Amino acid sequence: MARTRYASDRGLTSRMLVTMFLLGLVYVVFVGAFFVFVPKWAGVALAFAVVFLLAQYFFSDRMALFAMHGRVVSPEEAPELHGVVDRICAMSDAPKPKVAIADTDVPNAFATGRNQKKAVVCVTTGLLRRLDPVELEGVLAHEMAHVAHKDVAVMTIASFLGICAGLITRFGLQWGLWGGFGRRSNDQNTGLILLAVVAASALAYAVSFLLTRALSRYRELSADRAAALLTGRPSALASALTKVSGEIARIPTNDLRSAQAFNAFFFTPALGKGFSVSSLFSTHPSLDKRIAELSKISDQLSRGV
């Protein structure tokens, strides 16, 4: 992986390592318990889950673009957008990612891809219409910071592990338990096995959910900081955050719901006005916290710190 001029973040690196270790530990215990309680179909379910994970990891860029109706654009099709990306690459010494546009009025952006060579940065048409070039530069620098920090790949794997629990449990309940015990109505252990599998799945999902949300919130602050320091314009990124958050509140609810599956990867979450949720379960820090952190960086830059 090429080294870049993006500010490193040891806190992010340590959090990614701890998150992956804890998730791995949880799922080793979960899968082990599943093999003990439902050995008949556990191997098939696990193999299917592994294949699905590999497909998501290696083709995450294509899958994300397909889901968001995005398409890769050439410099001739989007010269201004490519110009902004080229400037960021020149400032950061980062390889240029593929550049894509998603045709939706929801103003947002995201980065995907397992490494810098396979990275894609996608912006929506709604974002392009609403931001000026300086604000757009801040947003794209933020997204490219995710790629430089390698947290895009980590989030892809970490978020999948939550799906894995439900997937394995579904196979077990439908084939292993119903098929295996359906003919033995007198088997008194069936209910206990069902309870154990569902409980293990719920615990694994809950732990993975909390760990990935905590990592997601920190990585957003880290990308904000790296982008602000790289461009030297924290105020531009703060302006983009404020503008996008305000505009998202005006987007129709149905459009927001269709985009919420990508909240963990978006520049800012697609949540409507009045949406309230505990910070423990949010994918992003609050707007106030992000603005406050950028204000601190602006003060540091002005003092030459």
User: pLDDT tens, position by position, for the chain (305 residues)?
Assistant: 457 889 889 999 999 999 888 888 877 777 777 677 667 666 776 777 677 777 777 877 788 888 888 999 999 999 999 999 999 999 999 999 999 999 999 899 999 888 888 899 999 999 999 999 999 999 999 999 999 999 988 887 777 666 666 665 566 555 545 555 444 444 556 666 666 766 777 777 778 888 888 899 999 999 999 999 999 999 999 999 999 988 887 777 666 666 766 677 788 887 655 444 555 578 899 899 999 999 999 999 888 76
Residue 96, in any domain of the structure? no
B/e letters for 5-28, b = 16+ CB within 10 Å, e = fewer, are: ebeebeebeebbeebbeebeebbe
User: Which domain covers residue 166, as residue numbers?
Assistant: 7-67+151-304
DSSP 3-state of 87: helix
The answer to whether 142 is a known ligand-binding residue is yes
pTM of the predicted model as reported, rounded to 2 decimal places: 0.83
pLDDT of residue 272: 55
Q: Is 49 domain-assigned?
A: yes
Q: What is the DSSP string of 41-64?
A: HHHHHHHHHHHHHHHHHHSHHHHH
Total number of domains in the chain = 1
Q: Which residues contact 299 (CB under 8 A, 6 or more apart)?
A: none
> How many other C-beta atoms can be found within 10 angstroms of the C-beta atom of residue 58?
12
Residue 146, marked binder: yes
């602006």: which residue's tokens? 298
* Residue 94, domain member (yes or no): no
Asked, for residue 130, whether it belongs to a domain, the answer is no
SS3 99: strand
Sorted by sequence, the CB contacts under 8 Å of residue 125 that are 6+ apart come out as 101, 102, 103, 104, 105
Any catalytic annotation for residue 143? Answer: yes
Domain assignment present for 233: yes
Residue 262 lies in a domain: yes
The answer to whether residue 13 sits within a structural domain is: yes
Q: Which of 137, 143, 247, 293 is catalytic?
A: 143
Note the pLDDT of residue 278. Answer: 53
- Residue 44 burial (10 A CB sphere; 0-12, 13-18, 19+): middle
Residue 87 CA to chain centroid, in angstroms? 25
The candidate with the shortest Cα–Cα distance to 4, out of 119, 110, 100, is 119
227, 269 Cβ separation under 8 angstroms: no
Q: Is residue 117 in some structural domain?
A: no
Per-residue model confidence (pLDDT) at position 87: 97
| Residue 261: alpha-carbon gap to chain centroid | 10
